Structure 1
Amino acid sequence: MNLSLVDPFILAQDCPEVITGRLRSGHSTSIRFSHRGDLLASGRHDGIVVVFDIETNGVARKLRGHTRQIQSLSWSTNDRFLLSAGQDWKCVLWDLKDGSRVRTVRFQSAIFIAELHPKNHMIFAAALFEDQPVLVDISAEVPVKHTLPTVPRRSQTGREKATEKQAAQDAKQTTTVTVFTPSGEHILTGTNKGWLNIIDARTYDTLYSYRVTNSLIVLIRMTQSGRDVVLNSSDRIIRTFLLPDLCDPKLDFDMLELKVQHKFQDLVQRLSWNAVTFSSAGDYVAATTYMNHHVYIWERGQGSLVKILEGTKEELSVLEWHPFRPFVAAIGVDSGRVWLWSILQPQRWSALAPDFVEVEENVEYIEKEDEFDIQPLEELHKRRLDQEDEEVDVLTVDPVKTNAQHEPGEFRMPVLLDIEASDSEDEIVAVGAGQFRRRSPGAGREYMNDDEVTASGDEARRANGSTASGTKRRRASKRGVAFAWGSEKVKGVNIGGWLVLEPWITPSLFDKLGRSDILDEFTLGQKLGKAAALKILQEHWDSWVTFEDFQKIKDSGFNLVRIPIGYWAYDTLDSPYVKGAAPYIDAAIDWARGLGLKVMIDLHGAPGSQNGFDNSGERISAPTWTTGDTVQQTLEIFSTISTKYAQPEYQDVIVGIELLNEPLIPKLDEGTVRQFFRDGFGRLRETSDTPIVLHDGFLPTSNWNGFLTPSDNNAQNVVMDHHEYQVFTDALVALSPDAHVSAVCSASGSYSGADKWTVVGEWTGAMTDCAKYLNGLGIGARYDGTYPGSTKVGDCKWQNDISKWPQEYKDQTRKYIEAQMGAFETRANGWVWWNFKTESAHEWDAFALIDAGVMPQPLESRKFEVIC
């Protein structure tokens, strides 16, 4: 804004008038202005935090760290750090200098609001759902949480008169909002029973309590001075208070009596208020209303309603007033847009041209005597030369006086030049080298195929009851066309060990428990209890898979990720499993879509276990999936998954949904499995024609010919999934490296004769079963003879550390990998490697193999001649 062109009388206005713009990047659920007012942070429904530049209305930063909706945002005083609190039960402190995460703090319950300390950005207060509020110190790597009181502090007389019933009611109160005073020495909290508490931020003691209302306190806001407080409660009344100087050492809190200055309410329509805020100077109170598209503004001097802002056609939720301008931002509930109200500012052009005159009516123009005289060329040339000698100052910046505090050396957020990370209402995406376009509506969701364990030897291993694992694992790619199964080749990687635990992928998670009775995700919840298990799993979910992992997958040339999930992500069915993984699936799809990856969703674990392996969630001697009503329960879970992810808006990213991973048909009734596949296909087709993926059940894929084909009830878009492993029988681990390569060709008949699209959804470069816990926690390896009843082939001394591999073994492994890639690409529709990474099983670890030059890079390159 060029202040020199603005009428000074316009600048003197202090209340917004009309809608002047809108911001859009995703569906916003929370907003907050920076202290200088040049930035507006917006938390989105998908967990992304977007920082807008107010002057340009463009996106200055996009911060990815949450998996669910953002609840609240809070800026540090210097505007460098931003605290976000999400419905994923965690708070993230961001450094806007580079967009990095400084700290991530997880809680055991949902977060109402989190507020940064005004003097120390490494301290914040948070109000938690059905839990005690906390003051959190994140100065060290391990956060220190101090519990704050919720029970109100009553006077001596009140305590004496308190009954047991009243004391019991006080103990049941929960804090719903916390806010620091500007000095940072005190915290104001509000409870669900209408109490306003003042807490000492150093001693964590309640100094004063005041019963404002009998209803829940929704929000507390303060002016910049900290002397004025506005409070919104569920009783449809907005109240303002005048606080004394809480830092005054002479202040006696026992003698303090707060009084309501003003009550703002609608006595006619009995409106409820969604959000309230003060104006920059505290002269006005503004509020948005429930089921209404107006913003109400009251003047505090007389307590009168002075303006109703209109212009939107949707209910407004969160409301923020600019720190020093007559400028209001509010979120539309339906669209997620951020609407902006301000003052229309006609520009004063006479400031640039002194002879410019504004007229209110037509005036007859009288030309000057020499106005249209023809000037000699020599004189015109001389004038131009004289003008060129004048110095033009384009560097000096005239200071603009505002209410914002500016200090020498203050933080200024660096300009982001990466077009991929910047967007406005329509995001910009790359479509080629140096070519960009606006993102299509709903863009950003693509997927990658789940890895499933394929095996010639796997079938025998499972029939013998061994517990080899094969888990799969876990924002947003450019929205494009659906995957062409008939012509494109899948070159994917599994995201195993993430949303379904497998001990061999992350052995440290189980080792640190020090328990021999915790063998899988089922017993984790059973033995530790759901609360303790949830804490462990949340830390694992947040750390095992990151956006950087997906970036590496993309950079390595893979085009798909297969994401294994357990049924308990949607319904635990009264089992010991812990619910909470579902939001991470959305985050993974978002990451994949943003990077141009495709996704395959794989239901990896069913009630009762469909195979008895720990990769189904529960390691048991025989699967019980077909007993009782578990098959019907699995169909209901699959319906939940397909109803969401088979929608048309996902078809650009999700290439298929796998009905069930590895049902062990040799130990199940084949007829039951076939009927389950038919019923699942019907459930998916109720939503769309998204491809359905069927595992072959450890039978040759040709056994499924004629099943769910165009000639069988006109079934379309059916994909067979085959898993190929050569490590789960004594005979297979005894093969020499060359014999392993030869077996690749001979085994191709088990999947090449299918009448459907076929993908090898799980395979590996491992030629031994030396990976720790690969056959189950506490069970040894066949290769070194520690597996019960096995014969020793060799030692497992170096296979799990790729830095110790002899060059000969690296070459043999690469040859084995290249042979499989060639076979799967020529005799099937592609492959999905198991797994993207592991803690120590480097024969299975795509990242480790790529870094060591064992897995081809690019994936199409070949060091050895074609084998099959």
Structure 2
Amino acid sequence: MDKIIGTNLGNWLVLEKWMQPFIFKGTGAEDETWLNRNVPQEKLWPMMKEHRDTYVTEEDFQNIASHGLNTVRIPVPYFIFGDREPYSGCIEYLDKAFDWAGKYGLKVLVDLHTAPGGQNSYDNGGIEGVCKWSQQPDEVEFVLTVLERLAMRYRDREELFGIEVLNEPISFSVYMSAPSRKKAADKAEAKGSRHVSSRFLKKFYVQAYGRLRKILPEEKVIVFHDGFRLGMWKDFFVKHHMKNVMIDTHIYIQAMEDVTHIHSFWAYRAFIAYQQHLLKKAQKYTPVFVGEWCVCNELADKKKGHEVIRDEYEDYRKKWYRKAAVLQLNAWKDTAGFFYWNYQLYRDKEVPMYATRLDSWDLCRCWKKGWMPVRTDRFMEKL
């Protein structure tokens, strides 16, 4: 396959409140686990069906292909098969995604995005403030069986690019600096939470590879998230004789800003240059792609000096978002590829978002506003 030029279809089968808070309104829930705990099935399940029926449709796959992308990364929950109460399964929507991908010439990376008990304490892991999955052998085994069932179901589909074993199992340093680890709705449930150790993660990845490779044809890729420790892996996958594997790493300018509190383009250049260096080192052994990134940055939304009229402000935003896009696309060109986070936030592209800067996370709005090249494939060919 050519270089990955893709987008994520987040907030479809795995909900994240910040991206589209409408379903969460009035529930008191901050994550999908508590949404299901707080809202009775007879009320929530019809809402979930409507969301899944309408948030991503065949039209979106056609739109993605028309912009020169070739792959979609689809986050899925551990309860995708509908066998974990009180959650409603959603495997039929992934089936539809494969059909639509085939129709429009796209590949699919199935990304297991959540784990029971939480693998990172983030809401994107299903439950905020809780990170205990790796300490529960039965739940570790359950995740492995979910991966096996996904592999069995799609192994013969031409559209299958590969399966990503688990999204963002958190490292010690990232866990200790994550505000989310202190936001558990039930403090007793969160007791004992800690990071996913490197020792455990290496063992789990070896197990997952062994079980998936027995099922998947050799041409299908098995993907491992770097666990926020890209430099750790080196020749690990080579030493374990793993064939056709890739590493997924996530790089956000905003994450750098949250740590350094520096909002200037020289800092962005330095940060991305350092990430390029890490990517180059890692790729000596194993292909790496940037599975999540976006143009969001504080500089584009902070106009220094006097107030300006709206048109001038929009020109200012376009300038800095576009510069952030070019900076990063130029860095990603020497990797196995990339996936933008996210294809969309609000389904209705005309509705203003609850916070202005959120539109930079929405690829459809970035295309519309000229912040991202509308034909990313042709743009990449010129770099």
- Shorter-chain TM range is 0.7 to 0.9
Aligned counterpart in structure 1 of residue 232 of structure 2, from 700, 703, 727: 703
Instruction: Quote the residue 1:852 is aligned against.
Output: 369
CA contact (8 A) 1:499 1:566 kept: yes
**Does the 8 A contact of 2:235 with 2:286 survive in 1?**
no
Q: Deviations over 1:724-775 (max 9, x none)?
A: 01213534553213432342122212322121111100000000399xxxxx
Distance across 2 between alignment mates of 1:730 and 1:569: 33
Matches within 5 A, 1:145-164: none
Q: Given that residues 495 and 563 in structure 1 are in contact (C-alpha distance below 8 angstroms), is that contact kept between their aligned partners in structure 2?
A: yes
Matches within 5 A, 1:806-845: 806-826=314-334, 828-839=335-346, 840=353, 841-845=358-362
Q: Corresponding residue for 2:75?
A: 564
| Among 278, 283, 299, the residue aligned to 1:750 | 278
**Could you tell me how far 1:851 is from its partner in structure 2?**
1.1
Q: 1:769 to 1:542 in 2, by over 3 A?
A: farther
Residue by residue, what CA displacement relative to the aligned partner does 1:632-675 show, whole Å, maximum 9, x if unpaired? 11111111111212x2x21x211110000000032122111111
Runs of at least 4 residues off by over 6 Å: none
SS of residue matched to 1:748: helix
Could you say what the CA RMSD is over the residues aligned between the two structures, in angstroms?
A: 2.5
Letter in 2 for 1:813: Y
For each residue in 1:26-57, what CA deviation from the matched residue of structure 2 results, as whole angstroms up to 9, or x when unmatched? xxxxxxxxxxxxxxxxxxxxxxxxxxxxxxxx
Give the AA of the match of 1:757. P
Q: Which residue of 2 aligns with 1:768?
A: 298
Per-residue deviation, residues 193-246 of structure 1 (Å, max 9, x unmatched): xxxxxxxxxxxxxxxxxxxxxxxxxxxxxxxxxxxxxxxxxxxxxxxxxxxxxx
Determine the structure 2 residue equivalent to 1:644.
Answer: 153
Shift of 1:616: 1.2
What residue is the counterpart of 2:182 in the other structure? none
Q: Structure 2 vs 1, CA of residues 821 and 568 (structure 1 numbering), >3 Å: closer, same or farther?
A: same
Q: Deviations over 1:601-632 (max 9, x none)?
A: 00000111110111111112x40111222111
Aligned-pair distance for 1:804? 8.4
Q: Which residue of 2 aligns with 1:551?
A: 62
Aligned letter for 1:766? C
Structure 2 unpaired stretches of 5+: 173-194, 347-352
Q: Give the whole-Å Cα distance in 1 for the aligned partners of 2:314 and 2:213.
A: 51
Q: Deviations over 1:536-579 (max 9, x none)?
A: 110100110011111111111111100000011125434x3x22
36, 43, 46: which is aligned to 1:525?
A: 36
Structure 2 CA distance for partners of 1:769 and 1:762, relative to 1, 3 Å: farther
Shift in Å, 1:708? 2.2
Maintained 8 Å contact 1:737/1:767: no
Please tell me whether the aligned partners of residues 69 and 377 of structure 2 are also in contact (alpha carbons under 8 angstroms): no
Matches within 5 A, 1:427-576: 484=1, 488-511=2-25, 514-515=26-27, 517-574=28-85, 576=86
2:88 paired residue among 569, 573, 579: 579
Would you say the 8 A contact 1:741–1:815 is kept in 2? no
Deviations 1:346-387 (A, max 9, x none): xxxxxxxxxxxxxxxxxxxxxxxxxxxxxxxxxxxxxxxxxx
Alignment-derived partner of residue 694 in structure 1: 224
The amino acid of 1:811's aligned partner reads K
Report the Cα distance in structure 2 between the residues aligned to 1:631 and 1:624, rounded to whole angstroms: 10
- CA contact 1:722–1:761 (8 Å) conserved in 2: yes
**SS at the partner of 2:224?**
strand
**Match of 1:589?**
98
Q: Deviations over 1:834-861 (max 9, x none)?
A: 0001123211111111111110132155
CA displacement, residues 788-816 of structure 1 (integer Å, 9 cap, x when unaligned): xxxxx889xx9xxx988521221111111
Out of 609, 618, 626, the residue aligned to residue 127 of structure 2 is 618
Q: 1:740 to 1:533 in 2, by over 3 A?
A: same
Q: Which of 1 and 2 has higher RCO (CA within 8 Å, sep 6+)?
A: 2
**Native 8 Å contact 2:253 2:295 kept in 1:** no
> Which protein has the bigger helix share?
2
SS in 2 for 1:730: helix
2:236 aligns to what SS in structure 1?
Answer: coil
Tell me the SS of whatever aligns to 1:855. coil
Question: Match of 1:550, as an amino acid?
Answer: F
Q: Which residue is 1:715 aligned to? A: 242
- How far is 1:685 from its partner? 1.3
- How many residue pairs were aligned? 340
**Aligned equivalents of 2:14 and 2:208: distance in 1?**
21
1:257-284 Cα distance to aligned partner (Å, 9 max, x none): xxxxxxxxxxxxxxxxxxxxxxxxxxxx
- Indicate the residue corresponding to 1:665 in structure 2: 171
Larger of the two Rg values belongs to structure = 1
Whether contact under 8 Å (1:597, 1:653) holds in the other structure is yes
Letter in 1 for 2:4: V
Residues 317-350 of structure 1 deviation map (CA, whole Å, 9 limit, x = unaligned): xxxxxxxxxxxxxxxxxxxxxxxxxxxxxxxxxx
2:131 equivalent to 1:627: no
Q: Residues 824 and 553 from structure 1, CA distance in 2 versus in 1: closer, same or farther, beyond 3 angstroms?
A: same
CA distance in structure 1 between the partners assigned to 2:312 and 2:343 by the alignment:
21
- Deviations, residues 671-722 of structure 1 (Å, cap 9, x unaligned): 111111111101111112221000000002x31122122x42x320111000
Aligned CA distance change for structure 1 residues 546 and 743 (closer, same or farther; 3 Å):
same
Q: Distance in 2 between matches of 1:627 and 1:501?
A: 24
Structure 2 residue matching 1:719: 3-state secondary structure: strand
Pair 1:794–1:756, CA change in 2 (3 A): same
Q: CA deviation at 1:829?
A: 0.8
Partner in structure 2 of residue 730 of structure 1: 258
Structure 1 counterpart of 2:115 = 606
Contact 1:818/1:862 (8 A) holds in 2: no
SS in 1 for 2:60: helix
State the distance in 1 between where 2:21 and 2:303 align. Answer: 23
- Cα 1:566–1:719, aligned 2, differ >3 Å: closer, same or farther? same
The corresponding residue for 2:203 is 675
SS at match of 1:607: coil
Name the structure where strand makes up a greater proportion of residues. 1
How many angstroms does 1:498 deviate by? 0.4
Q: CA deviation at 1:500?
A: 0.3
Q: Report the Cα distance in structure 1 between the residues aligned to 2:29 and 2:211, rounded to whole angstroms.
A: 35
Using the size of structure 1 for normalisation, the TM-score is 0.38
TM-score (norm 2): 0.83
| d(CA) in 1 for partners of 2:42, 2:261 | 41
Query: Hey, what's the Cα distance between the residues in 1 that align with 2:332 and 2:214?
Result: 32
Q: Distance in 1 between matches of 2:45 and 2:249?
A: 33
Counterpart-to-counterpart distance in 1, 2:21 and 2:266: 31
Amino acid paired to 1:587: K
1:425-459, Cα deviation, whole Å (9 max, x unpaired): xxxxxxxxxxxxxxxxxxxxxxxxxxxxxxxxxxx
Aligned to 2:267: 739
Change (3 A) 1:586 1:683: same
Asked whether the 8 Å contact 2:72–2:108 carries over to 1, the reply is yes
Q: Which runs of 5+ in 1 are unaligned?
A: 1-483, 771-782, 784-792
What letter is aligned with 1:831?
F
Q: Residue by residue, what CA displacement relative to the aligned partner does 1:93-133 show, whole Å, maximum 9, x if unpaired?
A: xxxxxxxxxxxxxxxxxxxxxxxxxxxxxxxxxxxxxxxxx
For residues 208 and 89 of structure 2, the distance between their equivalents in structure 1, rounded to whole angstroms, comes to 24
Task: Give the aligned residue type for 1:677.
Answer: Y
Give the whole-Å Cα distance in 1 for the aligned partners of 2:84 and 2:378: 48
Residue 99 of structure 2 aligns with an amino acid whose one-letter code is D
